[in-house]
Structure 1
Amino acid sequence: MNNVLIFILAITLTILATAALIPFLKKKKYGQPIREEGNKDHYKKSGTPTMGGAAFTLVFLLSCILFIKFNVNILFIVLYTLAYGLIGFIDDYAKIAKGENLGLNEKQKLVLQFGVAFILLILQYFLLDIDISMVNIPLLNIDLNVGIFIIPILMFIVVGTTNATNLTDGLDGLLSSVSIPVFLGIAYLAKDTKADVATSAIIFAGALIGFLVFNSNPASIFMGDTGSMAIGGAIVAMLISINKPIYLIFIGGIYLLEAVSVLIQTIYYKKYQKRVFLMAPIHHHFELRGYKETKIVAAFTTASVILTLFTILIIR
């Protein structure tokens, strides 16, 4: 099937799936708890249906099965998306059950994330049709064979990416908007060598556009960790499939910025009992500085488009 038609179908199916999911979540009272610190305007969002990422994740998985000839590349993309989406779902459900903004503790989450990454990467090491131990170095455009050490390297990239996308999901429509150009960029990078991976990226971009109909400010539904971790899993799986995971530092620059802002804030506060940012992740810093959510989302999305174009330029 033509990729344009698949793209339109992904948008349409996600709109329909999300529209059906919202009343179900409201009936079950699966609302998002809001943490006490930060912008007080967020309190009015308390109770907004969460776990909406289940809608676009399901559309993505079904579309991959229906519209792409199944092979080892698509298998692993599906497995990463599903596995990290399930970890996010467990975290979301724990938050709802507790009635607070903390679900799984940090240790529990990391054990699950690293465990899944280890299993999937070992399988990829032996089953993928490319040698993932050959690392392409950004800008220098040279390949470095790191052998079996690629497993721990990629484990940290996988876990770092899924946590970074999770941190980015803090404003209405932010993660969805930032991730659409990332997936479209991956589709462009993969189109000549891995057409199946390109199609999967197009599907995910379309699904996120459909979800934005309900997730843009003011959001009628949140994607929750179910969606944010599924997005991270899908992105890293696609980039591993085209042997470009290191390029996440460019194409995923917004995710990196969000994660680094939290790291800086944590380290600096522990040492000096002072904060570098008003609040981390950094999108909350700008929010507390008085910028509207819509302006922050627009600025971050623009930056994501620029970073994606830059990544395409340095690779091509």
Structure 2
Amino acid sequence: MIFFSAFIVSIITTWGLIQLTKQQGWVSRPKGDRWNARTVSLHGGIGIGLSFSLCFLFWNLTSSTELEILLVCMPLMMMMVGLYDDIYQLMPAPKLISQILVAAAAIVTDIDFAFLAYEPLNWALTLLWIVGITNALNLLDNMDGAAPGIAFFSVLSLCLLPWNPTPWLTDIAMMLAGSIAGFLIFNFHPAKIFMGDSGSLFLGNLIALMLIQFSRTISPDIQHTFLQIPSALIIPVLLIIVPIIDTTYVSFNRWYNGFPISLGDKGHITHRLSFLFQSDWFSVLILYAYQLLVCIIVASYHWTLFYPLFLVTLWLLYKLTIKTNAFVWPEKYISSLEARTSHRYLFLKRHMLLYRLFRLNSQSLSTVKKRL
């Protein structure tokens, strides 16, 4: 009942936002550094936050503890920061400072990891976790349905996992899952509205806080987890693994290729999959399937399955990188091929490189650059 009420309210609020943003001209227009090629309504994150807040007020307010209220209020603060950023384009430093302040507030109110013996290490890990997950989900919000869909599977897992003994956390997860599901109807490809930073920062912060609270309920008897990492840490990580992998992957690629890590580009896993399969919606479904598979393995206690999955993931990311680097950085790749063909390669290898260079020069300037 909680899920469906949040779902219906989210549909209504998101539909209303679409009409309002169109009337006011609050829309995202195609730009060279953006993926979308259409004019789409903005500020959809308000719909998620509003529907979640209304359901919380209706279902939980009278029985809520101080901890529950704080758990809801801090993400709403991040939503306001994200909305300000959507409108006025905040610099990265103020946005990061606001995330650190919210994380510090969580630690002060006893929302932190508790599995390490040395308390300051728990605080440091909590700070890193909240800021990291908030930004990871924000970075994943680069294609229709990607970030909210992954967030939906992560939150839904909290409701269904067999060792969650906290009813109030399950209720909050149900409210959030319903709110995301209602928004996804309008955000999946082709999107009618984007959630923007207001939505991604809200979702990232709330999910980070919920997973911290969830980690405190995990029994220490759950042993033999992946790579012998404590279950109170590895289970939350796995439940939100796709944004973590994507952020780590794109940051490493930028550093390795000599670009600033903060540089915006089209090198995210979603973009590369779309270059490979020529389909945005199929690329997003691949990430959905991966996150769902990981959540199922976590729920089934089959930790040994993560070892082959880990190796297969590394291999697939390597192959994906090799096949799509030319689309992500066409000028850099063409320059690299030109330099390599100037060396004394074997006759056959040299002509293979020249053929690849010819194809890139002809195709990337037409189809690839048009896609970019």
The verdict on a shared fold, with TM-score over 0.5 as the criterion, is: yes
Q: What does residue range 156-167 of structure 1 map to in structure 2 within 5 Å?
A: 156-167=128-139
Structure 2 residue aligned with 1:306: 293
Contact persistence 1:10–1:63 (CA under 8 A): yes
| Counterpart pick for 2:276 among 289, 292, 303 | 289
Structure 1 residue aligned with 2:203: 231
Contact persistence 2:113–2:126 (CA under 8 A): no
1:87 partnered with 2:81: yes
Q: What does residue range 168-183 of structure 1 map to in structure 2 within 5 Å?
A: 168-183=140-155
Q: Which runs of 4+ in 1 moved over 6 A?
A: none
Once residues 84 and 258 of structure 2 are traced to their aligned partners in structure 1, the CA distance between those partners, rounded to angstroms, is: 30
Give 1:191 shift.
Answer: 7.0
* Alignment deviations for residues 175-229 of structure 1 (CA, whole Å, 9 cap, x no partner): 1221211111112348742100101101111111111111111111111111111
Between 1 and 2, higher relative CO (CA 8 Å, sep ≥ 6) is seen in 1
Once residues 76 and 50 of structure 1 are traced to their aligned partners in structure 2, the CA distance between those partners, rounded to angstroms, is: 27
| Counterpart pick for 1:193 among 125, 143, 165 | 165
Task: Give the number of the structure whose alpha-carbon radius of gyration is greater.
Answer: 2
Residues 286 and 192 (structure 1 numbering): CA distance in 2 closer, same or farther, change over 3 Å?
closer
Contact persistence 1:54–1:226 (CA under 8 A): yes
Give 1:88 shift.
Answer: 1.3
Once residues 38 and 210 of structure 1 are traced to their aligned partners in structure 2, the CA distance between those partners, rounded to angstroms, is: 25
Percent identical pairs in the alignment equals 23
| Counterpart pick for 1:18 among 14, 35, 43 | 14
Aligned amino acid, residue 2 of structure 2? I
Contact persistence 2:21–2:42 (CA under 8 A): yes
Residues 315 and 205 (structure 1 numbering): CA distance in 2 closer, same or farther, change over 3 Å?
farther
User: What TM-score, normalized to structure 1?
Assistant: 0.82
Once residues 192 and 7 of structure 1 are traced to their aligned partners in structure 2, the CA distance between those partners, rounded to angstroms, is: 17
Residues 295 and 56 (structure 1 numbering): CA distance in 2 closer, same or farther, change over 3 Å?
same
Q: Secondary structure at the match of 1:305?
A: helix
Once residues 12 and 236 of structure 2 are traced to their aligned partners in structure 1, the CA distance between those partners, rounded to angstroms, is: 31
| Counterpart pick for 1:66 among 53, 58, 73 | 58
Q: What does residue range 85-164 of structure 1 map to in structure 2 within 5 Å?
A: 85-94=79-88, 103-124=89-110, 132-135=112-115, 144-164=116-136
Give 1:35 shift.
Answer: 4.0
Once residues 156 and 75 of structure 1 are traced to their aligned partners in structure 2, the CA distance between those partners, rounded to angstroms, is: 23
Runs of 5+ in structure 2 lacking a partner?
217-231, 304-372
Give 1:33 shift.
Answer: 4.3
User: What TM-score, normalized to structure 2?
Assistant: 0.70
Once residues 190 and 72 of structure 1 are traced to their aligned partners in structure 2, the CA distance between those partners, rounded to angstroms, is: 26
1:266 partnered with 2:262: no
Give 1:80 shift.
Answer: 2.8
Once residues 237 and 122 of structure 1 are traced to their aligned partners in structure 2, the CA distance between those partners, rounded to angstroms, is: 13
Residues 38 and 67 (structure 1 numbering): CA distance in 2 closer, same or farther, change over 3 Å?
closer
Residues 9 and 82 (structure 1 numbering): CA distance in 2 closer, same or farther, change over 3 Å?
same
Length, aligned pairs only? 281
1:256 partnered with 2:250: no
Aligned amino acid, residue 291 of structure 1? Q
Once residues 208 and 105 of structure 2 are traced to their aligned partners in structure 1, the CA distance between those partners, rounded to angstroms, is: 15
Give 1:38 shift.
Answer: 6.4
Once residues 161 and 245 of structure 1 are traced to their aligned partners in structure 2, the CA distance between those partners, rounded to angstroms, is: 13
Runs of 5+ in structure 1 lacking a partner?
95-102, 126-131, 136-143
* Alignment deviations for residues 34-57 of structure 1 (CA, whole Å, 9 cap, x no partner): 441465xx22x2x31111010111
Once residues 253 and 133 of structure 2 are traced to their aligned partners in structure 1, the CA distance between those partners, rounded to angstroms, is: 19
* Alignment deviations for residues 226-253 of structure 1 (CA, whole Å, 9 cap, x no partner): 1111111111111112224553321111
Contact persistence 1:162–1:231 (CA under 8 A): yes
Aligned amino acid, residue 93 of structure 2? K
Aligned amino acid, residue 149 of structure 1? L
Q: Secondary structure at the match of 2:258?
A: helix
Q: Secondary structure at the match of 1:289?
A: helix
Structure 2 residue aligned with 1:29: 25
